[in-house]
Structure 1
Amino acid sequence: MKKADSIKAQDHQNHQIQPPSADHIAGLIVQGNSLADKANINEEGNSCPWFLKLENDPTRLLDPINLSEEFQQDDTPVWVIFSGMRRMNRCPEANPVWIQDMVLRNR
């Protein structure tokens, strides 16, 4: 293993415990249908495919519009940086956000 690869692996392990930067927030990716109830179903009968729940505000649901496939697993803890989006909501209970950076983390 190259030294650079070793440093990257070590950085990845550290990010699982501590945020990669001061801007990263602890969150949890949750599959939309696992939280789906009548409030989460839109007029077409569809729920958001994925939600992002923030650890510091668990009642607030976000709709990560550009969620990468590698993070599309139910109950996945992450460090995330996101920005709000000015667009119509895909589902009534979650605000749409754009993921700027996301890293897996331990609970």
Structure 2
Amino acid sequence: MIIKTTLALFSVFIISCGPMQNQSAGDENNSSEMEAKKMIAEGYLAGKIIYSNIKDDCEYTIQLESGERGIYYVDPVNLKEKFKQENQPVWVKYNGLRQMNRCNKAIPVEVTSIVNRTE
């Protein structure tokens, strides 16, 4: 719970510290910023689907970013087929699982909600 709260607060901080947008791109950028603020407020984390075909590695992970941890990966044990696309940006909510890791770089999680994210 503390990690999720910290991640949400850090994400809000990063978004609010972004560069000023020029007026010509204002509508599209404002829409993306509004979507990001809304999703973060709802408890989602911004991530990106990563594919690996390396032996003993998780086939699909979600790359997330946290202020204190930097970039880190979670292993979604219940990722739906439609989200198994390399570099697909997503919004994700998950619960940690108390089970052995399936690979070294990621912790196993159960995805509770996932949606496509526009960049």
TM-score after normalising by structure 2: 0.62
TM-score (norm. length: structure 1) = 0.68
Q: What is the CA distance between 1:58 and its match in structure 2?
A: 4.8
Cα pair 2:48 2:89 within 8 Å, conserved: yes
Percent of aligned positions that are identical: 35
State the secondary structure of the residue aligned to 1:55: strand
Equivalent of 1:25, from 45, 49, 58? 45
Superposed displacement of residue 32, structure 1 = 2.1
Could you say what the CA RMSD is over the residues aligned between the two structures, in angstroms?
Answer: 2.2
Contiguous gaps of at least 5 residues in structure 2: 1-30
**Aligned length in residues:** 84
Letter in 2 for 1:28: K
Cα 1:93–1:47 shift into 2, 3 Å: same
Unaligned runs of 5+ in 1: 1-12, 37-44
Q: Which has the higher contact order (CA 8 A, sep 6+)?
A: 1
1:22, CA displacement in angstroms? 2.0
| Alignment equivalent of 2:78, drawn from 36, 61, 66 | 66
Higher normalized helix content (fraction of residues) = 2
1:77 aligns with 2:89: yes
Using the alignment, how far apart are the partners of 1:78 and 1:58 within structure 2? 18
